[in-house]
Amino acid sequence: MDWPATEDFAMPSWRMVYLRRHLCVWTDTVKLYYGQSREDAPFLWDFMTDYAVGMAKIFHAVRLDNAHSTPLHVSRHVLSRVREANPHCWVFAELFTGNFETDLLYQRTLGINALIREAMQCDSPHDLGHKLESPLWNGHPVGALSPVPTLDRADNQTPAQKRHPRDALPNAAIVAASCASAGSVRGYDDLFPANPSVVSERRHPWDSGCCLGRYAFCSPQKGYQNLGYPPKAFSGLLAADFEVEA
């Protein structure tokens, strides 16, 4: 919450943010304390480094989740090992420092290839259009970061939650028109009416009456009453697909 992104707020000397509760609480996230060097937490450093290297050996790219919350010296160490295992590994970063110069510092220090930006965080078509034409999202001057505007991320609300189910297609069309790569997460293309919680959701796709592939685990017989959605909000493409599944 408004701390300098380059400082590790988990350090004991940093303003006691946990004691004062001056931090954003994510129920599915545990903040790890790496310390100043591997000697402070050797198991943690080795475990996370081995995990990242394993991913780099399997995939062509890695994503730095919450890169702004991970100390730079830790990310630099892990990525150096990743590049030893896969010299051509592409590095994406979910990086929200709130400052363009700080973004560039992370890019220079870590060798980030592309930043992830979220279309679902835009409040209006004008806001989305403005960001798509901005230098960070769409410009390509020499040395610029490559943007990757995503339609949605795993912790975003779905179009049905934030706007309307019908918004999914035009939102995707606008993002697809940008001069950058684009992507989405499972659930956006399926028109989930709600983002299943990674903390509290305990149902499985093979459970009776559970449609994981469509509409956030609601059966056609029960509709959307369990999620509190008014029936009038579901028509058009949703209604047609609903009838096919029923």
Question: Given this model, what pLDDT does residue 205 score?
Answer: 56
Partners of 64 in the beta sheet?
93
Choosing from 28, 40, 50, 68, the catalytic residue is 68
Is 242 part of a structural domain of the chain?
no
- Distance CA(89)–CA(54), nearest Å, equals 12
68 catalytic residue (yes or no): yes
Is 192 part of a structural domain of the chain?
yes
Share of the chain above pLDDT 70, in %: 61
205, containing H or E segment? none
Choosing from 2, 40, 46, 65, the catalytic residue is 65
Range of the domain at 190: 118-215
Residue 174 in this model has a pLDDT that exceeds 50: yes
Residue 147 in this model has a pLDDT that exceeds 60: no
- Stated pTM of the model: 0.61
Pick from 5, 28, 1, 31: which is nearest to 154 by CA? 28
Pick from 149, 231, 151: which is nearest to 190 by CA? 151
Question: Given this model, what pLDDT does residue 50 score?
Answer: 97
pLDDT band at 22 (very low <50, low <70, confident <90, very high): low
Q: Are strands 114-118 and 61-64 parallel, antiparallel or unpaired?
A: unpaired
Is 55 part of a structural domain of the chain?
no
Question: Given this model, what pLDDT does residue 231 score?
Answer: 39
Choosing from 155, 167, 190, 241, the catalytic residue is 155
Is 112 part of a structural domain of the chain?
no
- Distance CA(14)–CA(32), nearest Å, equals 15
Domain count along the chain:
1
- Distance CA(170)–CA(80), nearest Å, equals 40
Read off the DSSP letter of residue 62. E
Task: Name every residue whose Cβ is closer than 8 Å to that of residue 62 and which is 6 or more positions away in sequence.
Answer: 52, 55, 56, 82, 89, 90, 91, 92
The lowest-confidence range among 29-33, 42-46, 61-65, 168-172 is: 29-33
**Which of residues 212 and 64 earns the better pLDDT score?**
64
pLDDT, tens only, 214-239 = 443 344 444 444 444 433 334 334 44
pLDDT band at 30 (very low <50, low <70, confident <90, very high): confident
Is 71 part of a structural domain of the chain?
no
65 catalytic residue (yes or no): yes
Is 154 part of a structural domain of the chain?
yes
Residue 139 in this model has a pLDDT that exceeds 70: no
**Which of residues 50 and 199 earns the better pLDDT score?**
50
Task: Give the position of tokens 């983002």.
Answer: 195
DSSP codes joined into one string, 113-172: -EEEEEGGG-SSHHHHHHHHTSTTTT---TTPPEEEEES--TTSPPHHHHS-GGGHHHHH
Is 125 part of a structural domain of the chain?
yes
The lowest-confidence range among 45-59, 146-160, 163-177, 221-235 is: 221-235
The answer to whether the Cα torsion of 135, 151, 129, 95 is positive or negative is negative
Pick from 111, 233, 231: which is nearest to 161 by CA? 233
Is 169 part of a structural domain of the chain?
yes
pLDDT band at 15 (very low <50, low <70, confident <90, very high): low
For the chain, the C-alpha Rg in angstroms (whole number) is 21
189 catalytic residue (yes or no): no
Structure tokens at 49: 């480094």
